[in-house]
Amino acid sequence: MNCDGLIRAEHLTKVYTRYKSRSDRIRGLFTFGTKSYAAKFTALHDVSFEVFGGDSVGIIGRNGAGKSTLLKVLAGLSPLTAGRLDIRGKIGALLQLGAGFHPEYTGAENIFISGCLLGLTRKETSAKFDEIVEFAELGEFIHQPVKTYSTGMQARLAFAINTAINPEILLIDEVLAVGDSYFVSKCIRYLQDLMRRGCTVLLVSHNLVMVRQLCQKAMWLHDGRLLEYGPVAGVCSAYEAWVREEENKEILRRSKQLWQIRTRGRTPEVDVIGQPSRAPGPDQIRITAVQVLDEKEQERACFVAGDRMLVRVHYFSAIDYTNPNVGITVERADGLIACAVSTLDEKFETGQLGKGTGYFEAGYEPLLLGPGLYRITVSITLDDPLALGDTNFDRLCQVQEFKVETKGRAYAVAVTHPVLWRHVKTNR
């Protein structure tokens, strides 16, 4: 394959006209421009970049960033509002899998229909037919109507059809997010082979592990604007840091709501460093706040495995009590209890609580939890191994949330456990 695909984009702008209803669209036809019933939405804002032959570029960004719109513009499926686009080379596009399939026709019949849409003659499609069917691995389903196919089966057929065109520029929009892991791996091997032969690839994906694996460069779009374009490692790291900060803000906001819900709307009895506004009931120690902190002792809700995380449990005591037991349970969003610790189990003497305020602190150093969303339950109980239920001074369930990410891992695990590797050669 002689792939010299080249894309030059200058100040690309795409504006959509949106109507609230069909009746507004019809009214607009009869106003002759004197009154507008439409709203304008700019999907791409002044986007400029250059892709050289043989480049592999991952396009990343949140939903609504303009990624799919950009690929549609590059594929010629959506006209530009403004800007200039120069594309050289034969384009293959995997944008909306199965969008061109006729549901009443069989998979085999749709191969010929799609081949025609991709610019292949019937003779060329016939020559590639067995190869397409073999790649799709649909067996006898290839002779069944496409309306009986699952989404994954349609993805298999659509991807297999596009393997027949040998493009110089290949545009892919979240195709690899559909289907089973075996077929996804097969598609990745096909793409890697295309890249080795010099094909230019633009890939839209939310899977940054895959983007790092397949692409040399990355393009970060946000609200239709190109924020960064360059080597994949740097752009993906910048995007991850931004996403982490956005999620951190959202989880902290949600944690405040959790506090109100789990404590039945009660407000903290005391300020973290202040004096009680009113004393709790007799013989009671009350949890007044739970904080999740980073290594700088700043409130945070997004961590990377290996970070230092602190859980700080503030209390107000109206009594003198020696060595209360403090427990912290971390539960994953799916209900799995990831870890549970207590001062009693750890044989840590919490000491004498006089009347007043203070806090207990547990340091997760390093944080070994796998990627996921977690919630924290805390309790202060009697100094008794059998302290359960009504022996709690105070117990607050799922009052804080935090999220853990693991860099470079394509799959979820419960714990990122350290191991000691060893290699022993036993030549005989």
Residue spans per domain, the chain: 6-236, 263-405
Q: Which residues have CB under 8 Å from 97's CB, separation 6+?
A: 154, 155, 158, 159, 175, 178
- 286, with CB counted inside 10 A (0-12, 13-18, 19+), is buried
pLDDT in tens, 198-212: 889 999 988 888 898
Tokens of 297: 């002792």
What 8-state DSSP symbol labels residue 267?
A: P
**For 117-126, which contacts have Cβ atoms below 8 Å and span 24 or more sequence positions?**
118/92, 118/161, 118/162, 118/164, 118/165, 119/165, 120/164, 120/165, 124/164, 125/164
pLDDT in tens, 60-97: 999 989 999 999 999 888 899 999 999 988 887 777 66
Q: Residue 246 — left, alpha, or beta (φ > 0 → left; ψ -120 to 50 → alpha)?
A: alpha
pLDDT in tens, 315-331: 988 888 888 899 999 99
Average per-residue pLDDT in the chain? 83
Candidate from 131-135, 200-204, 246-250, 420-424 with smallest mean pLDDT? 420-424
More confident residue, 5 or 384: 384
pTM (two decimals): 0.70
Per-residue pLDDT at 335 exceeds 50: yes
6-236 is a CATH 3.40.50.300 domain: yes
Instruction: Give percent of the chain with pLDDT exceeding 90.
Output: 33
* Measured CA distances, 206 to 212, 305, 373 (Å): 11, 20, 18
Per-residue pLDDT at 222 exceeds 80: yes
**Cβ 200 vs Cβ 169: under 8 Å:** yes
Tokens of 261: 């819900």
Architecture of the CATH domain 263-405:
Distorted Sandwich (2.70)
| pLDDT at residue 421, rounded to an integer | 84
